[in-house]
């Protein structure tokens, strides 16, 4: 039976809480069983915290930084596709399909094709035999990394897209300031979505080169918010779906000390002690990600606006989706059926470099083995091209990291 993404609603006042409940019914109606033995993530022995040293790479993704600091991927921050897939499954319970898509995408576009690795921070262009300059995740702006991040700054606003901006961390942290009982604090999806609404508007209002791209804006930016709860929340018998409290949030973002005196130490992201990942069999893969992506977009269709500011703040201009896709998708059909999930998958693979397809034959076959069955199962419309030349007019799209002074 095909997985069906929720049909688009006809009203403009979709309640995210209602949509969230549809996708995630009460736990007594779900088969999520907490197993402390299988879900425990070790932070001792070979997985004890070891901070980065000179020559190690750390970048914009807190989860990957924490994995490197605890030895679930190589401590230097450069890993293979298989290491990323195995590491994210072992630590967070990320579905292997979603992990493979992300790992291949990062390797092909921002890594070292000759060794099929990529850096979680700056690109390591010292590797002998590297065929192309590597960006690493830090240099992957508008590709693997995007504007309107929850905690990291917009590249062209801050000249830095990998350090936590404390004003943004404080903004999220304070959304639970009215919860006096620490056991009731939970930075969940509805709360993170309200935070995203605010951050999206802040970027438009403060970053003259804000840009919301085809893949970076429609898939990568929302993933940064959804992953916070889906992967960082601590699972337990009481909270099999997870509860993300203040201390766990601080640990994953390298924040220490009391809330009136926060200290941020870049690169020191930690997996908390006594922390449990998602249940075995309840991995967060491509299907649940696409369902949740669609539900959030139903509540906030502004997130699907592809375009950007035009060199001045508050000048956001959108691009017609029908023009971008040759009429295959438009604003009225993107949220129908499975179309949003289809578009995300198609955008992810659309620009794969055909010039080096021979070197990537095995990798591309692995990717096709994940993507093609989903496209068929979701009955996706055939998309032949995305005309990204329509985006050249946006300075935030056309400027490189070097132009930003990074």
Does residue 31 belong to any structural domain of this protein?
yes
Contact 59, 77 (CB under 8 A): yes
What are 5's two structure tokens? 């993404």
Does residue 355 belong to any structural domain of this protein?
yes
Alpha-carbon distance 335 to 341, whole Å?
9
* Residue of 285, 241, 266, 261 lying closest to 66 (CA atoms): 266
CATH assignment at residue 48: 1.10.489.10
What are 62's two structure tokens? 């807190």
pTM for the structure as a whole? 0.91
Does residue 7 belong to any structural domain of this protein?
no
How many domains, in total, are found in the chain?
A: 1
**Mean pLDDT for all residues in the chain:** 89
* Residue of 310, 311, 334 lying closest to 321 (CA atoms): 334
Q: pLDDT band at residue 130, thresholds of 50, 70 and 90?
A: low
Least confident of 14-18, 59-63, 168-172, 240-244: 14-18
261-267 CB contacts, 8 Å cutoff, 24+ apart: 262/166, 262/169, 262/170, 264/163, 264/164, 264/166, 264/169, 266/58, 266/162, 266/163, 266/164, 267/51, 267/52, 267/56, 267/58, 267/65, 267/69
Q: List phi, psi (to 5°) of 284.
A: -95, 95
Does residue 35 belong to any structural domain of this protein?
yes
Give the list of residues 6+ apart from residue 88 with CB closer than 8 angstroms, or none.
63, 67, 94, 99
Does residue 359 belong to any structural domain of this protein?
yes
Does residue 8 belong to any structural domain of this protein?
no
* Domain coverage including residue 30: 16-404
Q: How many CA atoms lie within 13 A of 401 on its CB side?
A: 21
Does residue 10 belong to any structural domain of this protein?
no
How do strand 255-256 and strand 78-80 relate by DSSP bridges? Answer: unpaired
What are 97's two structure tokens? 């399909």
Q: pLDDT tens, 323-374?
A: 999 999 999 999 999 999 999 999 998 877 766 667 788 888 899 999 999 9
Does residue 172 belong to any structural domain of this protein?
yes
Alpha-carbon distance 127 to 155, whole Å?
26
Cα angle at 223 between 24 and 90, to 5 degrees? Answer: 80
């Amino acid at each position: 039976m095909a997985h069906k993404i929720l049909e688009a609603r006809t009203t403009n006042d979709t309640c995210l809480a209602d949509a969230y409940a549809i996708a995630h019914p009460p736990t007594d109606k779900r088969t999520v069983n907490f197993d402390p033995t299988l879900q425990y993530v070790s932070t001792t022995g070979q997985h004890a915290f070891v901070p980065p040293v000179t020559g190690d790479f750390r970048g914009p993704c807190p989860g990957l930084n924490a994995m490197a600091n605890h030895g679930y991927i190589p401590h230097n921050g450069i890993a293979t596709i298989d290491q990323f897939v195995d590491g994210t499954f072992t630590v967070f319970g990320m579905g292997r399909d979603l992990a493979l898509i992300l790992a291949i995408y990062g390797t092909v576009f921002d890594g070292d094709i000759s060794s099929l690795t990529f850096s979680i921070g700056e690109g390591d262009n010292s590797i002998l035999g590297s065929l192309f300059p590597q960006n690493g995740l830090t240099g992957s702006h508008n590709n693997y990394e995007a504007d309107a991040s929850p905690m990291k700054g917009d590249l062209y606003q801050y000249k830095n897209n990998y350090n936590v901006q404390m004003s943004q961390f404080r903004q999220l942290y304070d959304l639970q300031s009215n919860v006096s009982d620490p056991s009731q604090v939970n930075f969940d999806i509805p709360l993170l979505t309200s935070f995203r609404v605010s951050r999206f508007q802040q970027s438009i209002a403060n970053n003259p080169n804000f840009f919301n791209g085809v893949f970076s804006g429609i898939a990568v930016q929302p993933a940064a918010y959804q992953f916070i709860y889906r992967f960082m929340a601590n699972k337990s018998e009481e909270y099999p779906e997870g509860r993300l409290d203040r201390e766990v949030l601080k640990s994953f973002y390298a924040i220490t000390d009391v809330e009136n005196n926060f200290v941020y130490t870049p690169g020191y992201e930690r997996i908390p002690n006594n922390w449990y990942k998602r249940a075995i069999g309840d991995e967060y893969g491509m299907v649940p990600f696409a369902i949740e992506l669609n539900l959030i977009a139903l509540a906030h269709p502004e997130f699907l606006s592809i375009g950007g500011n035009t060199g001045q703040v508050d000048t956001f201009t959108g691009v017609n989706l029908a023009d971008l896709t040759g009429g295959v998708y438009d604003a009225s059909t993107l949220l129908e059926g499975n179309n949003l999930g289809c578009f995300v998958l198609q955008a992810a693979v659309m620009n794969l470099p055909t010039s080096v397809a021979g070197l990537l034959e095995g990798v591309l076959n692995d990717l096709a083995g994940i993507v093609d069955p989903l496209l068929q199962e979701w009955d996706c419309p055939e998309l032949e091209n995305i005309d990204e030349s329509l985006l050249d007019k946006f300075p935030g799209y056309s400027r490189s990291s070097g132009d930003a002074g990074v």
